[in-house]
Structure 1
Amino acid sequence: MEQPTSEFKSKAGLKRIYNASSYAIQGLAAAWRTEHSFRQEVLVFALAVIFAFVLPVSGFQKLVLIGVVLLVLIVELINSAIEAVVDRISLERHPLSKNAKDFGGAAVGLTILLAAITWGTVLYSRFM
């Protein structure tokens, strides 16, 4: 029996790559327009990239410093997607909807904590 497929997915080839890239850009643009926390985190990311390149640390450490802040953006996008799906299903308050949103927020919070610990460790090992 054949699996059902979405009419929105292209089958293969360059068109699939083009569509995937287009959807990714649309997703980033939508997050920028609608998510205040995403805009704040993009600003922090831009500053972190500049600061990481200026720091007198190894190339690998620069990569890690930039990577953990990029990870915050990735998890924020996933959290925003979860919130959008929950809101799409229903705007009424429900304990499971609250859990889904809280779990997403907790994931973002833990990722920010990871980024802070990573930056603190690299800076401490370099300057202390």
Structure 2
Amino acid sequence: MFDNINKPKGIQRIYLASLNSLRAFRWLYTNESAFRQELLLLIFVIPTSFVFDISIKEQLILILAIIFILFTEIINTAIEAVVDRVGLDIHPLSGLAKDLGSAAVLVSLIVAGSVWLVILL
């Protein structure tokens, strides 16, 4: 049972939160193919960013644009998990929530693509 009064503080809280985050990343990698694809994109983008004659700041912006996609995918997956936890029955609001999460990922892809185009062209 969750104890709101005696919850961990300081370094212990940071440590426990880190364990939870690592568990979430492990779950994402194992269960979400979109996350694996976007992670692969990030792994490809990092060394690729060194090929172009751009500043370190521009290089960082290119990499952060892909990390933004990963961030959005994590939020989308969280929305899907909550919707599925509430119930697997088909409901218009459940579908809308999942569609909105998917739209957020699409927007992040458009933003990342735009950033790459602007910096490289």
TM-score by length of 2: 0.94
Structure 2 Cα separation of the partners of residues 58 and 94 of structure 1: 49
Are 1:81 and 2:81 counterparts? no
Match of 2:107 in 1: 110
Q: Deviations over 1:84-116 (max 9, x none)?
A: 110011001000000100000000000000000
Aligned-partner residue type, residue 57 of structure 2: F
Aligned-partner residue type, residue 6 of structure 1: F
Identity %, equivalent residues: 38
The 5-angstrom pairing of residues 44-123 of structure 1 reads: 44-123=41-120
For structure 2, the 5+ residue unaligned runs are none
Moved segments of 4+, more than 4 Å? none
Once superposed, what is the RMSD of the aligned Cα atoms?
1.6
Q: Deviations over 1:48-96 (max 9, x none)?
A: 1111122210010001000010000001000000001100110010000
Structure 2 Cα separation of the partners of residues 40 and 10 of structure 1: 36
Match of 1:7 in 2: 3
Aligned-partner residue type, residue 97 of structure 2: A
Structure 1 Cα separation of the partners of residues 16 and 77 of structure 2: 21
